[in-house]
Amino acid sequence: MSTETHPQVTILAPTPQLKGMMSIIRNRDTSRADFIFYADRIIRILIEEALNHLPVVEKFILTPTGQEYQGVEFQGRICGVSIMRAGESMEQGLRDVCRSVRIGKILIQRDEETALPKLYYAKFPPDIASRYCLLLDPMLATGGSAMKAIEVLISYGVPEEKIIFVNLLCCPEGLSAVLKSYPRIKIITAELDEHLDEKKYVIPGLGDFGCRYYGTDK
């Protein structure tokens, strides 16, 4: 998949710092402490990039020297929505850069009978329909959970174009699926991997993000 044909997708610039951090969290021998530390750094960069996609208006202010400065002011309120449980690892990164930000949660799991993603729990700010929504989940594989989460947000009144999906790692199949169903959302990711394997794992990937971050087994 070529992101040049999808202006809604932003992939972080492959700087030496980012490539170095991605190399650490992808390494199967990396300790949990280091995995958390460098994943948190990447999440912080992703959140900052996501905020760049919020609308601003021109604003003039006076500096302490009495001089005028032509700047901007953010427009619109935001909230975060984490897809439980791995998405909860991204909440602190959002709180670090957005003071007193409101955060909702959504739990989606595969229905064992239908093999389709099913909503089990959703808790959002009551005024979520009036906010820009940063949807948080570290991995975008098939896109099933992400599309279900977007569907739920839209059902709560969030305009599709006000949803910004933030993730660390994605693959062409997932991006294509999400954008085909929801072409007006924005997707912010750190790296685009090669493909999904026959088990629907992202390749080369980094393993199960939630298990590595929280130190639990699948």
pLDDT digits (tens, 9 = 90+) for 172-185: 999 999 999 999 99
Tokens at 114, concatenated: 């239908």
Say what the pTM is: 0.91
- In contact, 76 and 54? CB cutoff 8 Å: yes
Q: Which residues contact 64 (CB under 8 A, 6 or more apart)?
A: none
Report residue 115's pLDDT band, with 50, 70 and 90 as the boundaries: low
Q: What is the CATH number of the domain that holds 180?
A: 3.40.50.2020
SS3 string of 130-159?
Answer: HEEEEEECCEECCCHHHHHHHHHHHHCCCC
Range of the domain at 38: 3-60+68-214
Which of 2-16, 27-41, 196-210: highest mean pLDDT? 27-41
Cis before 102 (ω within 30): no
Dist CA 155 CA 71 (whole Å): 36
37 burial level (CB within 10 Å; 0-12, 13-18, 19+): middle
- Cβ atoms within 10 Å of 122's Cβ, excluding its own: 17
Q: Please state the domain count of the chain.
A: 1
Tokens at 118, concatenated: 């099913």
Q: Mean pLDDT across the chain, nearest whole number?
A: 92
Dist CA 7 CA 5 (whole Å): 6
Q: Give the mean model confidence (pLDDT) for residues 191-208.
A: 90
Q: Which residues contact 118 (CB under 8 A, 6 or more apart)?
A: 108, 109, 110, 111, 148
